[in-house]
């Protein structure tokens, strides 16, 4: 089950965190993985890890917020059977402290970036007779979370784009879903704690972990497992759906 042999998967944000875990797992399941990221060091390491395990991977430096750069990168990828949009940036703050520059920065990556890559992948999927798109949304798309105004806005847009694409290309064999993680332990979390709570990292980590009813943060590997199912043929009846994977955060708080 969940075999991806013979398929090419493009994973944005594959140089770290959830995107990296997805790229590694997809490669283990037989996919040839194109790892897109601005983080050259992290993405190169992802590809090395893929190849050391006998898989096939290739790194493409890509700024997803640039339509021109995205078109150039996708032009170098012969086929696209699977697209996973994991690249993203965060912003902390409510409406009144969010500057226009903050808003534009998060929008360019989290919304325009998803638009750019889906638009670039679409003709290749149409030529293949179908494909799968998986977008990374967030519980912030559907749940009010304090101090996440701009970030929540972008993830709500990702959810809406997912539903629209699923509807418009249903008859062309293209499935489109999204997953909405709760808090996941990634390098972003560790950097956030170091910058904002020096000397209190362990205490704050425990506090953030317990915000999930299940009592801990998720892991990138757990996100990757759900991504694998949704991008596999076993999920052939699944499209236009948002999957919370949040330790009970959405419904059990």
Active site residues: 151
Q: Read off the tokens for 249.
A: 């955060």
**Quick check: 135 and 162 in contact, CB under 8 A?**
yes
Residue in 223, 172, 164 with CA at minimum distance from that of residue 20: 223
Buried (b) or exposed (e) across 179-204, using 16+ Cβ within 10 A? bbbbbbbbeebeebbeeeeeeeeeee
Q: Where are the extended beta strands (E) located within the chain?
A: 8-12, 32-37, 56-61, 82-85, 131-136, 174-181, 242-245
For residue 221, what are its two tokens?
């590997």
**Would you say how long the chain is, in residues?**
253
Q: What are 176's strand-pairing partners? A: 133
User: How far is it, in rounded angstroms, from Cα 15 to Cα 39?
Assistant: 6
Calpha distance 172→220 (Å, rounded):
31
């Amino acid at each position: 089950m969940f075999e991806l042999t013979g398929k090419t998967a493009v994973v944005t944000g594959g140089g770290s965190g959830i995107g990296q875990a997805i790229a590694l797992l997809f490669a283990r399941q037989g996919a040839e993985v194109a790892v897109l990221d601005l983080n050259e060091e992290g993405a190169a390491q992802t590809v090395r890890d893929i190849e050391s395990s006998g898989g096939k991977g290739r790194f493409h430096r890509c700024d997803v917020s640039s339509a021109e750069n995205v078109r150039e990168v996708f032009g170098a990828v012969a086929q696209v059977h699977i697209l996973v949009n994991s690249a993203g940036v965060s912003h902390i703050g409510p409406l009144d402290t969010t500057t226009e520059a903050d808003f534009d920065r998060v929008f360019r990556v989290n919304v325009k970036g998803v638009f750019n890559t889906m638009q670039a992948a679409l003709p290749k999927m149409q030529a293949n007779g179908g494909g799968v798109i998986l977008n990374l949304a967030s519980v912030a798309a559907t749940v009010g979370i304090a101090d996440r105004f701009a970030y929540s806005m972008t993830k709500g847009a990702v959810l809406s784009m997912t539903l629209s694409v699923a509807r418009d290309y249903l008859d062309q064999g293209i499935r489109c879903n999204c997953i909405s993680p709760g808090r996941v332990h990634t390098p972003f979390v560790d950097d956030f704690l170091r910058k904002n709570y020096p000397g209190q990292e362990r205490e704050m980590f425990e506090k953030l972990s317990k915000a999930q009813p299940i009592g801990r943060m998720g892991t990138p590997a757990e996100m990757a497992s759900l991504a694998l199912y949704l991008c596999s043929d076993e999920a052939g009846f699944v499209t236009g759906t948002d999957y919370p994977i949040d330790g009970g955060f959405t419904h059990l708080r």
